[in-house]
């Protein structure tokens, strides 16, 4: 039949967070004292507020809502001036931060001969002629 859990089973299980919606946070009619207790529960990670709407996130981050929408529209939000120019990394920077597996996959995709002819041979060719 039904088996009750031992108290040690509860101690080993991680505590579950209660989820509340952002709409509930915005529209509840609780007293200030009750909302303060809710805030403490959120800080102690007993209650997890999600999903928050854009207005609530803007209020948390202390930015106007229009700025959040503009940053979302412009992509990653790092360049919020809307001129369309994105900061890009160079090929050398990209290769430097890539892993060995990513480099191997790139060599297979592009072709070893292309990499050799365009990246390696132009560097070692002047050294060969200087050594002779």
pLDDT digits (tens, 9 = 90+) for 74-112: 765 455 455 555 567 788 888 888 889 888 888 888 888
80: buried, middle or exposed (CB in 10 Å: 19+, 13-18, 0-12)? middle
The answer to whether the pTM exceeds 0.75 is: no
What are the boundaries of each domain within the chain? 15-77, 99-132
**Residue 16 clears pLDDT 80, i.e. is over it:** no
**Residue 132 clears pLDDT 60, i.e. is over it:** no
Residue 59 structure tokens: 């209020």
Spatial separation of the C-alpha atoms in residues 124 and 132, rounded to whole Å: 13
Residue 84 structure tokens: 């369309």
Strands 18-20 and 47-49: parallel
32-90: pLDDT as tens digits: 888 888 888 888 888 888 888 888 888 888 889 998 888 888 765 455 455 555 567 78
> Are 76 and 70 contacting, i.e. CB atoms less than 8 angstroms apart?
no
């Amino acid at each position: 039949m039904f088996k009750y859990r031992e108290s040690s089973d509860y101690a080993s299980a991680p505590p579950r967070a209660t989820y509340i919606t952002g709409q509930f946070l915005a529209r509840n009619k609780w007293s200030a004292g009750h909302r303060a207790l809710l805030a403490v529960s959120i800080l102690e990670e007993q209650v997890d507020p999600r999903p928050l709407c854009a207005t609530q996130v803007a209020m948390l981050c202390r930015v106007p809502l229009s700025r959040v929408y503009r940053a979302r529209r412009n992509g990653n939000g790092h360049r919020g001036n809307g001129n369309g120019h994105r900061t890009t990394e160079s090929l050398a920077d990209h290769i430097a931060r890539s892993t060995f597996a990513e480099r191997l996959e790139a060599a297979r995709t592009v072709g070893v001969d292309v990499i050799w002819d365009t990246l390696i041979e132009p560097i070692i060719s002047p050294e060969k002629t200087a050594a002779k």
